[in-house]
Amino acid sequence: MSTRDDSRPGTEEEPVLVGVDLGGTKIAACLVTVSGQLRGEVHQVPTPGREGPAAMLAAIAGLVGQVVAAGTHGGRSPRPLAVGIG
């Protein structure tokens, strides 16, 4: 039986990643454990496809920041091992 508290993203018990889904109309992101379990809400923003590459990178970076900030509990922010974009 596991004693891990699955409600706390990015704790020392299980490392997390940020998964990003880059689509034609929206970009979505969420914290994900290395075993594939979602941690927290999925955040999304519209894809700024017509605004150029800099706007796309800014949207992704902002979304990753939102996901990490939302995963902060008790003053401890998750420290994602990587960001995967697909």
pLDDT in tens, 45-58: 999 989 999 999 99
Distance (Å) of CA 18 to CA 7, 44, 50: 16, 13, 25
How much is the pLDDT for 83?
92
Per-residue pLDDT tens digits for 63-85: 999 999 998 877 788 889 999 99
Give the pair of three-digit tokens for residue 14. 């299980």
Kindly report the number of other CB atoms within 10 A of residue 44's CB atom.
16
- The residues facing 16 across adjacent strands are 33
Query: Closest Cα to residue 46, out of 22, 29, 27?
Result: 27
Read off the pTM: 0.78
> Would you state the pLDDT for residue 69?
92
* Distance separating the N- and C-terminal Cα atoms of the chain: 33
Residues 78/9, Cβ–Cβ less than 8 Å: yes
User: For domain 1-72, which CATH number applies: 3.30.200.20, 3.10.50.40, 3.30.420.40, 1.10.645.10?
Assistant: 3.30.420.40
Sequence spans of domains, the chain: 1-72
